[in-house]
Structure 1
């Protein structure tokens, strides 16, 4: 009887291994490859060569994104050590060992707070019964200089931050099939940055809470790293849908799957693939990727266009990158390539289903 034990043991191990293998690759790539495999068998067309997923453009180097701003720690700044402006502690913080190596977001936060306090100081000095005209002149001169540079500081605070850089990396990491809510949190963080840019940076009132929330938004963006996931999902869908479209069109250009719109057994198999795999698996992933990417790109464009509208000197490489990667209207951009691939695939399925008289109706 022992000669039966080894085969049974081997069979059980094999079944367990297959089960584990099937569970271990629950990824968008595996789901889409399975769809291509099912489609290929259903319409009797070889899958052909895979369409490579392109490597998206490199985010411009930091030296091309950073705007150089004159340092104002000496000379004119010394006058503000006077208690009248209540800037002593803020200046001391900036001149500390930690302040000298502020990350971009904190440097931006410092400059905004400095400008607001300075504005408040000038207003208060002018309201005094016996104002110090020399101090008013000096502080007004400094305020004018700081005002000219504040939007450059804001640009640097956003586009040279590690959080934003990380979200434009070229790492290939598509969104998971199951939504883990991290992308939604990242989109909310981007909205906080966008809302922050709508404020009037010259008002004396300082919204400390908003500045603190901004740092939290940066942390969310850094940890979740949603940008590469969204771009990778769009690129993955573009590649796989284009491959599937080529297969369907190849079948449509050859021997009909159905004659006189009469579906046979093979057409029924094709219909099953359409509903079970395309509608049941691929479409939900398309919908999730589309919804999140659309919101993400719209916010990124809103942030970029807000700053561009403030006449900051933007390097040409950054403008080109936005056109190629972030734009939702430029031909050849990641978004437009995805939209074209999605629409062509939808049309291919419609043509195939029409040939077999199987176009879905409202009652299907």
Structure 2
């Protein structure tokens, strides 16, 4: 069995080895961040005269729902119903022609949504004008049916425009890593992109509002600059795992009749060290940033009228800042639990 001195010496050696691996791996894949958390664990174990835990690899995030699980079925409009000649006074002929040409049929989901949005605006304005009074009974009924159908379909098209976009889906890539230690905040413009997508969804039935194609595509491209959602979630998983492992050390010590006898140095000094204070500040920043991002995502999804059960389940597990089953709640709870345990230990061993 190792004595306290040997355990501390071997613990320091293992930390040095782990840090070397992290440096070789590079900070871009979360290695520097994990080294920070493992370093804290080992200093805590040394102070408690316990074996440092063997860091476990955190779980990955779940796969984003597949296309057949996240996209909504939208039936094609019958050709006879969309009779552009009969409804020529509604100014939809050119729109329909653009949608039916070769480029229109392979357009991106976001562009298909802009088409449907513009078509609905034209049909709605036509219905509220004098045109219906000048139509035959059959064509008036055709227009009424078309307006009703497109009004019902537009929220589904809006949903598909988001969940069929490679930029949005790529934000949840499992082939991602935790955030670098000094890059916790999202890239410039990514929060603004979420806000814009929420606004266009909320205003889709506003007849006086029309989104700009280049602005919409620009915001989607901003989300593609990095899979921030996935990186943030994996950072929360990593931090929750390392905090739980550190808490297990404190729980082990507190279970003893005289936990203070283990202390090789005052525990309070460990938490007042600059490295520990930096870690506390980083964890607080992570919690604040994660809550802000998840609330922005929640605002975007809450603006959607339609949706699928599979996305709702994913949202509850991974994208909620409130659900007790969500990864954010697990991280927040692990942080609070660790703070309570260490304050208890410090209080008992003054």
| Equivalent position of 2:180 in the other structure | 176
Partner Cα distance (1:280, 1:103) in 2: 48
Alpha-carbon contact 1:47-1:243 (below 8 Å) kept: no
By how many angstroms is 1:256 displaced? 4.2
Q: Secondary structure at the match of 2:129?
A: helix
How far 1:78 sits from its partner (Å)? 2.7
Question: Per-residue deviation at 1:212?
Answer: 4.1
| Residue 58 of structure 1, CA deviation | 1.8
Structure 1 Cα separation of the partners of residues 86 and 169 of structure 2: 36
Distance 1:180 1:93 in 2: 43
CA drift at 1:264: 8.3
**Equivalent position of 1:233 in the other structure:** 235
Matched, 1:280 2:277: yes
Instruction: Pick the structure with greater CA Rg.
Output: 1
Which residue pairs with 2:12 in the alignment?
Answer: none
Residue 294 of structure 2 is aligned with which of 270, 293, 297?
A: 297
Aligned to 2:93: 88
After superposition, the Cα gap between the structure-2 partners of 1:33 and 1:265, relative to the gap in structure 1 and judged at 3 Å, is: closer
Specify the alignment match of 1:306 in structure 2. Answer: 303
Q: Aligned residue pairs: how many?
A: 326
Partner-residue secondary structure (3-state), 1:241: helix
TM-score, normalised relative to structure 1? 0.80
Matched, 1:266 2:265: yes
Q: Secondary structure at the match of 1:50?
A: coil
Aligned to 1:63: 68
Q: Is the counterpart of residue 132 in structure 1 residue 135 in structure 2?
A: yes
What does 1:151-190 correspond to in 2, within 5 Å? 151-179=155-183, 182-183=186-187, 185-190=189-194
Q: 1:77–1:206: structure 2 CA closer, same or farther, 3 Å change rule?
A: farther
Matched ranges for 1:1-364 at <5 A: 21=23, 24-25=26-27, 27-72=32-77, 74-79=79-84, 83-126=88-131, 131-134=134-137, 135-179=139-183, 182-183=186-187, 185-199=189-203, 201-209=204-212, 212-254=214-256, 256=258, 258=260, 266-267=265-266, 270-276=267-273, 279-307=276-304, 310=305, 312=306, 314-357=307-350
CA RMSD, Structure 1 to Structure 2 (Å): 2.8
Contact 1:119 1:203 in 2 (8 A): no
Is 2:61–2:234's contact at 8 Å kept on the other side of the alignment? no
1:345 Cα shift?
Answer: 0.6
Deviations along 1:284-311, whole A, 9 cap, x unmatched? 321232122112222222333332xx3x
Contact kept, 8 Å, 1:31 with 1:281, in 2: the verdict is no
- Contact kept in structure 1, 2:184 and 2:286, CA below 8 Å: no
- TM-score normalized with structure 2 length: 0.83
Q: Secondary structure at the match of 1:208?
A: coil
Q: Is the 1:164–1:222 Cα contact (8 Å) retained in structure 2?
A: yes
Distance change (3 Å), C-alpha of 1:255 and 1:51: farther
After superposition, the Cα gap between the structure-2 partners of 1:317 and 1:225, relative to the gap in structure 1 and judged at 3 Å, is same
CA contact (8 A) 1:60 1:317 kept: yes
Asked if the contact 2:90/2:126 (under 8 Å) is kept, the reply is yes
Separation in 2, partners of 1:273, 1:341: 19
> How many Å separate the matches in 1 of 2:96 and 2:303?
29
